[in-house]
Amino acid sequence: MINYNTGKVPSSAIILPFYATGTGAFLVLCLLLVWSPQSLLMHYFNPHLLGIVHTAALGWGTMIIFGASYQLLPVISEHNLRSNDLAILSYYLLMAGVVLLVWALWSFRTGWIMVTGGSMIVLASLLYLINVVLTGRPSPQSNIQKYFIISSAVWLVFTTVVGLLLAINLGHPFFSRDHMTILKLHAHLGLAGWFLQLITGVSSKLVPMFLLSHAKKTKWLNGAFILQNAGLILFLADVYFIGYSSRVLIWLVVAGIGVLCWLVDLANHYRKRIKKKIDLQMKQTFASMLALIMGIGTIPFVHLLSASGQGSTFTMIYGTFVFMGWITGIILGQTFKTLPFIVWNDHYKKLTGKVKVPLPRDLYRAGWLRYQLGLFIVALLLLITGIATRQLLIIRIATWCWLGLALMYAFNVGQILFHKTKTTE
Amino acid sequence: MGTIKKLDDYTPQERKVLDPLYDVIDPELFVNIVDLGLIYNIEVDSEQNILITMTFTTPFCPMGESIIDGVENVLHIEFPDREVHIDLTFDPPWSPERLTNEGKKMLEMS
């Protein structure tokens, strides 16, 4: 007899399609970069770059984050995932929506394909929000991580709805405001609302868990929650109702202090950790934080140099640091802190203690993580250098490095996904 | 709040139950659950039934089910005729003070 409730981990059949599809999207993203490196030297509103950015943000980043969230929501909310069916449905909608949207953006077909793709992504984000809220609500424990997850899901819905309106506006103009201004709001909703707050919330739960930190105070996280949201809301309201001006730098500082509060919280966990040895997955994660700081550091240049041609270059550098440095970096690291455990649980949960079983790290080529981290740093620095110096050759070399990195990552993910049970008596 | 027994306080009979639990490893930390301090208490009643009171490092631990399965499996191999009861508690919650010296060494704390 067992008197316990450990909580039911969602079935891997729900989680793994997100990881498999996200990995495929990362490969496609790098192929698109190899195919169209010159798009990184044009104005950011060009069809190929729009396709590349949405492959990165939705096919790669959001796809993996949905999968990881469905796995981690029970840990954060201390309650079973409310609906497996909604999770599965959100996968099909997101996957199909991304395919349609990216194809329509890449070939710039403004019409029903783009709108249908956008609508499916809106529906996927709504289903995700419903699952997040219903999973978090019954928990007696109120924690700041849960608020981050819920607020990020609300911002995601806001982002996708504005994105859908932008797609409609391209074919049938109806905005009273300038399309490019709304595009800026859409981009920052996604980055500072969805990605930043989701990653802040999840990392503030996972990093202490992985490092076995005994830091307990949440005042820095509370500050991060208030400031990140305040900075974003003030930015959106100011730009939409009054217009784009130098005041955006004030809202950047507010949200930036919010980011700083989160990093201070992570640093506290790092200092008070019990597990002294930092594995490569966590090193990759910390490297991605540096990319975020560098990205935020370029925003004032984007604004101050917007009148000159340099503004567009800094916009590209900012986007590269954020998508390829921060979001990609954190996924490359955290995939190998989550996926092997999900698959290991499937194969060995019932066997542990009975027979000798491999460890989760034995499910893939753990030694490759060193090369993955090295290639990630080289590829990112080359891409930034190529964009900053406007040298197409350097950008071309960088995109091939990214493709090599994607192949290495995909091979290792494949090793985990197609693992066969191995035991010795 | 449940009773937490120190390792030195186990009777020889309880110690026989504790020993196989060293083979149950937390797959993330690579430390066995005894040195990690997850075992709060072991009782063996007059009918030789075994009651384990234990915890996880965090509620809703993603590896929780596999740890519980590991405890059941090693005890069923060692004591096939006995009933095993597992009581999972978070009162008190696990804290780093629960680590044994061996556990601290394994985590490179010392």
Distance from CA of A6 to the nearest CA of B (A): 5
Task: Name the residue range of residue A363's domain.
Answer: 292-425
In a domain, A231, yes or no: no
In a domain, A350, yes or no: yes
Residue of A nearest to B97 (CA): A214
Contact: A341, B28; criterion CB under 8 Å = yes
- Classify burial at B62, counting beta carbons within 10 Å of its beta carbon; exposed 0-12, middle 13-18, buried 19 or more: buried
**What is the residue whose two structure tokens read 């080289």?**
A378
What pLDDT does residue B46 have?
A: 82
Contact: B63, A345; criterion CB under 8 Å = yes
In a domain, A30, yes or no: no
Contact: B68, A352; criterion CB under 8 Å = no
Q: How far is CA A348 from CA A291, A337, A411, B69, in A?
A: 37, 17, 22, 10
Contact: A72, B86; criterion CB under 8 Å = no
- Residue A156: count other Cβ atoms within 10 Å of its Cβ: 28
How many whole angstroms separate alpha carbon B54 and alpha carbon A415?
34
Give the tokens for residue A52. Answer: 């590349």
Contact: A353, B73; criterion CB under 8 Å = yes
What's the ipTM?
0.84
Which pLDDT tens digits describe chain A residue by residue (425 residues)?
Answer: 555 555 667 888 999 999 999 999 999 999 999 999 999 998 888 999 999 999 999 999 999 999 999 998 888 888 889 999 999 999 999 999 999 999 999 999 999 999 999 999 999 999 999 999 999 887 666 789 999 999 999 999 999 999 999 999 999 999 988 999 999 999 999 999 999 999 999 999 889 888 888 777 889 999 999 999 999 999 999 999 999 889 999 999 999 999 999 999 999 999 988 888 888 999 999 999 999 999 999 999 988 887 776 778 999 999 999 999 999 999 999 999 999 999 998 899 889 888 888 989 999 999 999 999 999 999 999 999 999 999 999 999 999 999 999 999 999 999 999 999 987 65
Of B77, B83, B96, the CB nearest to A212: B96
Residue of B nearest to A345 (CA): B66
Distance from CA of A172 to the nearest CA of B (A): 48
What pLDDT does residue B9 have?
A: 87
Structural domains in chain B, CATH included, are 7-106 (3.30.300.130)
With contacts defined as CB-CB under 8 Å, which chain A residues touch B69? Answer: 349-350, 352-353
What pLDDT does residue A407 have?
A: 98
In a domain, A208, yes or no: no
Of A3, A209, A359, the CB nearest to B27: A359
What pLDDT does residue B47 have?
A: 83
Percent of chain B having pLDDT more than 90? 51
As beta bridge partners, residue B86 has: A2, B52
What pLDDT does residue B110 have?
A: 43
In a domain, A280, yes or no: no
With contacts defined as CB-CB under 8 Å, which chain A residues touch B104? Answer: 274
Residue A2 φ/ψ, nearest 5 degrees = -130, 125
In a domain, A189, yes or no: no
What pLDDT does residue A80 have?
A: 86
Task: Tell me whether B2 touches chain A (CB under 8 Å).
Answer: no
Residue of A nearest to B107 (CA): A275
Task: Tell me whether B105 touches chain A (CB under 8 Å).
Answer: no
In a domain, A342, yes or no: yes
What pLDDT does residue A215 have?
A: 76
Residue pairs between chains A and B whose CB atoms are closer than 8 Å: 102
What pLDDT does residue B2 have?
A: 64
What pLDDT does residue A423 have?
A: 75
Contact: A78, B59; criterion CB under 8 Å = yes
In a domain, A93, yes or no: no
> Which of residues 87 through 126 in chain A touch B, CB cutoff 8 A?
none
> Which of residues 38 through 77 in chain B touch A, CB cutoff 8 A?
56-66, 68-74, 77
CB contact at 8 A, B20 and B74: yes
CB contact at 8 A, A276 and A213: no
Long-range contacts of A359-365 (CB under 8 A, 24+ apart): A359/B25, A359/B27, A359/B30, A360/B27, A360/B28, A363/A415, A363/A416, A363/A419, A364/A336, A364/A340, A364/A412, A364/A413, A364/A415, A364/A416, A365/A411, A365/A412, A365/A415
Residue of B nearest to A9 (CA): B62
Segments of chain B scoring below 70 in pLDDT: 1-2, 109-110
As beta bridge partners, residue A355 has: A352
How many domains is chain A partitioned into structurally?
Answer: 1
